[in-house]
Structure 1
């Protein structure tokens, strides 16, 4: 897909890194935003990738690095899950961090880049949500609230943008094998969440993202649930597959 620029946040690991890699291989110019300098250096070695070290909350810094470049696709992927437990015991700083990074940052980035898309009558905003934003998960009240807010925003934004030719897609992953749960489960994350299960891989999500972006301009996938075959859509229930 020539002559298109995509901006990907949270690009240094997991889903963001896979999307950056997929779009780079497809010929996009990719602006990869993240905080890990070493991982950004690896991304910068890929064809067409411009690596930007910035906190996703610093919208001014991100825009300054664009240097007037037109952005056709924005993948707001950066997100954190810093705590798992009852809401009453949650550190207030963790509440602020999850709301700021998971909800406020993607909204502010969209707000900054949307006028150009509307003026050019083309663009695609993709937001990485979660099934936790569509069903209750005990111990994840703040994370779920941030993702539910993102889901509501996507639905309303599509209404606002009717007639502009700018598309909006909410990606709703279930259990994807990433490092998101590292802070809440520590070294036990793999044992608790992945061993014995068939999780979706970041590369699976990346291929779907490319497919959604490259659909004809008159087709908008407004919401895309991406779950393991062994996980129920309505919540966190997942089973181990029988031995084959």
Structure 2
């Protein structure tokens, strides 16, 4: 199968791309950092095709999908993996530019890639879309404000795609991980504070990018009639918490 994955220069995307190449698929790996994609291609072999892409650039997304279809072949699997979180402060102190960046990447990027790839899948009556969500889209926590909201969108968008596509043999899954170490996620969120980011995972056995890649590999290998709507994943050291209650003396 021909797989198009976004955000493949690091983290989940990098490991997913390598795993699907090892599974025998042709993987078009996209990201903004072309140098990292070239390094990934050198490690992964001829099955990986690196292509630079900013998912926030609408016209570039549509042009790339057309180029992939023409030069590599019809896209069988789209993995909307590109995304990020910025900041952990409360909403009233948030940087509006950071909010917009999360909306542009986590929501608009998913919309552009899906809308570009979907008509070809519908025409062939076949395809798989895997969207990378988060438990933050279900369980609120302080500082998650817009990030969590963008991931709630990913969850609901995935379900609504299935409603539109019923009977067309196109599968849509939202993968929603919890605490996951070994990626750039927290370093990016904390604006490069490596020490503080490492502290988030101290003393835990968190999920890893390999766990996510294993899950994607399993999804892609399901029989064509099987759709997995949502997969919510957490390490055993994590669970959803209690409601916050502030009490005042009476």
Same fold flag (TM > 0.5)? yes
Query: What secondary structure is seen at the aligned counterpart in 2 of 1:124?
Result: strand
d(CA) in 2 for partners of 1:207, 1:108: 26
**Offset at 1:89?**
1.4
Counterpart-to-counterpart distance in 2, 1:51 and 1:159: 33
Deviations 1:115-152 (A, max 9, x none): 11011011000000000001111111010111111111
Contact 1:136 1:235 in 2 (8 A): no
Q: CA RMSD, aligned part only? A: 1.6
Deviation at 1:84, TM superposition (A): 1.2
TM-score (norm 2): 0.89
1:47-196 equivalence runs, <5 A: 47=45, 48-58=47-57, 59-68=61-70, 69-177=73-181, 178-185=183-190, 186-196=193-203
- 1:195 shift after superposition: 1.7
Distance in 2 of aligned mates of 1:155 and 1:28: 26
- Name stretches of at least 5 consecutive residues in structure 1 with no aligned partner: 238-244
CA distance in structure 2 between the aligned counterparts of 1:181 and 1:38, rounded to whole angstroms? 22
- Is 2:222 the counterpart of 1:220? no
Q: 1:128 to 1:39 in 2, by over 3 A?
A: same
> Hey, what does 2:40 align to over in structure 1?
43
Q: Which deviates more from structure 2 when the two are superposed, residues 72-81 or residues 86-95?
A: 86-95
The alignment of Structure 1 onto Structure 2 pairs a total of residues equal to 233
Instruction: Normalising by structure 1, report the TM-score.
Output: 0.91
Residue 237 of structure 2: SS of its match in structure 1?
coil
